[in-house]
Amino acid sequence: MTSLRAKPNVTKAEAVFGRHDIAVAGSFRDADELRTFQSEVQLMDRVRSFRSYPALQNWTQKGSDGHASNAYLLIRTTDTQKTMGELKTVPEIREIIGTTGDSDIVARISADSREDLFETIVKKVHGMPGVLSTETLPTFSKY
C-alpha cells in the first residue's frame, strides 16, 4: 500500500473486503496516463491481478461523511437505468456510477453500523427488480 500511495496519480488507497484487497482512487489526465499506471501496478510485487473502473469519479472528498460503515457495492443488473433510479431512493446510497465490465453499476454506500450496511444491501438492494448480483467491498480506515 505504501508503494501505491507513493505514485503521483494516487489520491487515495483503502483496504477492502471481497475479491480485491485494496481500492485505489487516482487522477489521470488521459487514457494513456491510466494505462501507464496500470502497467506499473501489474509489475509490482504481490500484485496478482488488477482491475480498473475508469468511469468512476474521484470520491476522495466524499468518502468522509460521518458514517461508521462505508462500502463500495458492485452491482450487476438487467436494466442499468431502472436500477440506478431505484438506488437513488435509498438514503444510504451516497453515489451511483454506471460502468462497464463485470459490473453495471458501482455505488458508494454509508451507514451507522455494519449491521445497517448489511441490512441495506440485503433487504433494499438485493430486493430490487432486475438486480442479478452484488459484490460488497467494505472499506477500512483511510490511508
According to DSSP, the β-strands at 69-77 and 105-111 are antiparallel
Q: How far is CA 119 from its chain centroid?
A: 18
DSSP classification of residue 101: S
Going residue by residue through the chain, which has 143 residues, state the pLDDT in tens, using 9 for 90 and above. Answer: 788 888 888 887 777 666 667 778 777 777 788 888 888 888 888 777 777 765 554 443 444 466 677 888 999 999 999 999 999 999 999 999 988 888 999 999 988 888 888 899 989 999 899 999 998 887 765 54
Q: Coil, strand or helix: which one is 114?
A: helix
Domains of the chain: 69-142 (3.30.70.920)
